[in-house]
Chains A and B, each alone.
Chain A
């Protein structure tokens, strides 16, 4: 058996005992130093501490048993020290783990690209819409929505585009089939702007109103790099007592700073929309050149971004048919609207509006 090398002791004096135990300690140290992996450690453990044929077992059964009564104690003490040594060596060996050489054999190429989980990207239009609604939520605006197929009344008439008015020419409209025989105000069309939701909201609740209206709109326009028959708008409406033109200015100036950064400046120009008066176009200082003038702003330093104005009393008059509290002598309000594609194109450097609707994975993947 493996432990036949444990000699029988003939003398039990201190000197003999020291010598015999020292030889075993030396061997244990030597064995432990040569351990080179988990298997060798296990072999070492079996050789020294194995229950049946472990060396310490042999030592115990032969030396301790054979010792005369007066030598039992000195043998026992030395045995205990040896056992502690072996256990300590084993502990050290097993916690040391595999050797560097063993680890080297398990090397991998860390420069290979990581395996990525596919992450879905929110559409840049959704992202921009959400950003805008959040900016206005912080100013106390709730989200308002309405149908995409609208009546002529909500899309035009109640927004102060009277039947036959030239202002209707500015919004080429897609219409639902077979409307010719219906009364004009009931005719169905694809809404050309999100403004009808203004009227639907006012009809359903008395003032105060603070809503932000994100939505899809349609026009019968030819598609090019910056125009699409399908696009999105965000419209806002604020109605209360004492709402002024300077409130409109302050609100939009804040919103543009929140959207494009605090260094952005706004300026307001007179414009014309049937449903607001006074009406204004808003320009922001060019976000590309900071207002110095570049190709993107046609060297003007300014970029036109949205339309707005004070709600026209004629619009309130339509709302007052169902909610008499919209009395233009007592309340006032402002409305504003902006094209979401245009803002998204500016924010993300998109050059073709058609990319929004193509569903190209490579385009969309950039917005993860």
Chain B
């Protein structure tokens, strides 16, 4: 919104502040001036303003002037509503409000013999041509410009009809089913029975508070007009405007609450501007009001305000005196409130002299803790309803930066979320494994949701998605990870390690469940290439190592990895069925990971091998975090024995591992697969495994015979598992 400082100053002839100072002072009090532009040659400045939606009353020149008057304690020039005498009319113009829930006031004034022409500066206070030029507001005709001028001056929407096109009188009513109206934008609209219309006795003339009608529009041939200034109920206007996809200056104002008392003044200014080009008024202003709506707006009951409550909410000020009785009274009076001091009125009722009540006032302004008022609210401030609203006004005009910076007393100890430590352990582990943290979209396509949802059929669609590709709330973090991995590879960033810790969603459109998940994706070489060491591609077991490290953060007895034949259909469709694994902890699946299914890689134009996985953290978080417990480290020398084994392809490490664990030899402290290789000398479906076993006793150096007997037992055990020793 643009505000001319010259126009503003016409309501504040004694304003001492410069345009820049005024802008600063207004901004600090919530009437934000975003930019000041000098108009040159003595035309003052134009302010670009950004006023919050609750302050529609200030979205006009007079409204801003009223704020300035409050800030500086100046007198405000009232709006001039003087009019020439009217010629008498035999019958007053007929106005009826049928929709008494939606129209609170309707004023109508008949002007005859007017001349439609170009706007100029008509009289002091109606510099239409000058102000419109400075504001770059398009001039249309003296009639339309008059309503726009009043809108800019005081924020009251008005409308002028070609009187000769009105049949009978005005009725404000709901539309009838199937009724049609061509609005000023030239669109023929079919009305809804809920729409509020201004009609004559035959037809609708306009959408009340939103937009006028085409047929009663002012034309160059118009000589007689009806000036409308009214008050419409916010919700009724909002619904009508929404139904027709309209948002106009008028609807904006009425939706947020117009000034019930502004209609006669607005009507007078519009009329006077029109009459400046000839013509006369016929009859008195017709002013129809609905008492119930007037009681909710212009005649609201006063509200109670206590200084102690103002202090309780606002706290300390930098200035020692702080907020006093006179601060409250000056601020609220300047904003148009009327304050009745409860103590003073009590004394007055006991016939105490004026000087005594003056003393009470002074006492109150010194101590003032018990001061109380009944505050009558101005008709233009429908946003003021409660004591807290008045407290805010006091703080606002006093200036927020006049309050001290204090700190509240401590409340209680800080409590951590139950899973905070778990999440931090997972995050630290995967960061240490060299993965960067990404944050992907919360949404994915329906196809990706179907592909990756851990529970099929429980993906939740959006009603108004950002795009088709983002139609579903993600059931898995995998689509996001794949998008981010692909983004890197397509930008020729070949070494990718990414994870996301986030929320996944499942359920129905009635009830949505949210869970924590961890997804990770990787591609490229490991370790990072250097000139001295050849790179090797990252592969399944690199990722498995990361998964194992994450799981090792939790206290779990049974952790295992398995895979299922493709025909079982148990492996998620995004994974290569023979290069992926399920992770289970204590019998429950906690995730899947492995190589991206080649079909999905092709669909995403990925030539590289991509590894990807997801862990269901909500299940892991049910486990306790593993607490480190130290064991004494044996001082005696460990002995390592290697066994070169030959195995059938169908026998995996797990079998050997279990066979060795089954031996339960306490001195066998570690065993691992040191090398796996295939060799032309072996059978076609065989492979060779170099098994390394370490023996160590906590209390002695082990004797050769002891070691020999353990070795024999190892050979026996792996033999039972299907391995034979290579000779």
Interface residues of A (CB under 8 A from B): 112-113, 115-123, 125-126, 137, 139-143, 145, 147-149, 164, 166-167, 170, 174-179, 182, 188, 190, 208-210, 216, 218, 220, 229-230, 238, 240, 242-247, 249-251, 253-254, 267-272, 277-280, 310, 312-313, 332, 356-362, 364-365, 367
Contacts and interface: CB of A to CB of B under 8 A. Distances in A.
A110 to B, nearest CB: 12
B487 interface: yes
Contacts, number: 252
B235 interface: yes
A249 B313 CA distance: 12
18 contacts: A142-B414, A148-B442, A175-B462, A178-B509, A240-B409, A242-B312, A244-B316, A244-B406, A246-B406, A250-B404, A269-B400, A270-B29, A270-B400, A279-B392, A310-B388, A332-B313, A359-B438, A359-B487
B112 interface: no
Interface string B582-607: 00000000000000000000000000
A177 B461 contact: yes
A362 B487 CA distance: 11
B315 A245 contact: yes
A277 B392 contact: yes
B437 A174 contact: no
Nearest to A150: B512
A175 B460 CA distance: 11
Contacts of A178: 463, 509
Contacts of B441: 230, 357
Nearest to A141: B414
Interface in B474-533: 480-481, 483-485, 487-488, 491, 493, 495-499, 502-503, 505, 509-510, 512, 514, 527-528, 530-533
B87 to A, nearest CB: 43
Nearest to B51: A272
Contact of A246 (B238, B388, B405, B514): B405
B28 interface: yes
Nearest to A207: B411
A220 B436 contact: no
Interface residues of B, number: 94
Q: Pick the most buried of A167, A238, A361, A362: most chain B CB atoms within 10 A of its CB.
A: A361
Contacts of A278: 313-314, 391-392, 395-396, 400
B53 A120 contact: no
B52 interface: yes
A250 B406 contact: yes
Contacts of A246: 314-317, 403-406
Nearest to B315: A244
B73 interface: no
A310 B530 CA distance: 58
B503 A148 contact: yes
Nearest first, the 8 A-B pairs at minimum CB distance are A244-B315, A270-B30, A359-B484, A118-B434, A246-B315, A120-B431, A272-B52, A359-B438
Contact of A147 (B317, B412, B430, B514): B514
Contacts of B480: 359
B430 A120 contact: yes
A247 B514 CA distance: 36
Contacts of B530: 112-113, 115
B406 A361 contact: no
A116 B488 CA distance: 21
A247 B512 contact: no
Interface stretch (B94-102, B415-423, B684-692): B415-423
B665 interface: no
A272 B51 CA distance: 9
Q: Say what secondary structure dominates the interface of chain A.
A: mixed
A120 B484 contact: no
A122 B413 CA distance: 28
Contacts of B484: 358-359
A287 B405 CA distance: 20
A121 B53 contact: no
Contacts of B404: 246, 249-250
Given A361-B488, A364-B438, 14 more contacts: A118-B434, A120-B431, A123-B439, A177-B460, A209-B411, A246-B403, A249-B405, A268-B400, A271-B30, A278-B314, A278-B400, A313-B386, A359-B483, A364-B436
Nearest to B404: A246
B255 interface: yes
A190 B493 contact: no
B528 A174 contact: no
Contact of B532 (A115, A209, A312): A115
Interface in B296-323: 312-317
A164 B434 contact: no
A301 to B, nearest CB: 12
B540 interface: no
A312 B439 CA distance: 34
A169 B509 CA distance: 23
B389 A277 contact: yes
Interface in B527-584: 527-528, 530-533
A122 B509 contact: no
A231 to B, nearest CB: 10
A141 B460 CA distance: 34
A279 B32 CA distance: 14
A119 B432 CA distance: 6
Q: Which of B32, B438, B440, B461 has the largest count of A CB atoms less than 10 A from its CB?
A: B438
B490 to A, nearest CB: 11
A75 B488 CA distance: 85
B222 to A, nearest CB: 34
B421 to A, nearest CB: 12
A177 B314 contact: no
A63 B328 CA distance: 123
A86 B10 CA distance: 115
A312 B388 CA distance: 8
B248 to A, nearest CB: 14
B433 interface: yes
A220 B470 CA distance: 12
Contacts of B487: 358-360
A60 to B, nearest CB: 38
Contacts of A143: 416-417, 420
A149 B434 contact: no
B493 A360 contact: yes
A122 B483 CA distance: 19
Contact of A240 (B32, B411, B531): B411
A249 B403 contact: yes
Contact of A120 (B391, B434, B461): B434
A298 to B, nearest CB: 9
A169 B12 CA distance: 35
A149 B505 contact: yes
Nearest to B465: A174
B724 interface: no
B493 A126 contact: no
B106 to A, nearest CB: 23
Interface string B463-474: 111100000010
A178 B510 CA distance: 8
A272 B55 contact: yes
A308 B414 CA distance: 22
Contacts of A240: 408-409, 411
B455 interface: no
Nearest to B389: A277
A179 B485 CA distance: 35
B503 A121 contact: no
A362 B493 contact: yes
A251 B54 CA distance: 26
B496 A361 contact: yes
B312 A332 contact: yes
Given A177-B462, A177-B509, A142 B497 contact: no
Contacts of A141: 414
A108 to B, nearest CB: 9
B388 A361 contact: no
Given A142-B414, A332-B313, A120 B432 contact: yes
A209 B441 CA distance: 32
Nearest to B530: A115
Contacts of A216: 442, 502-503
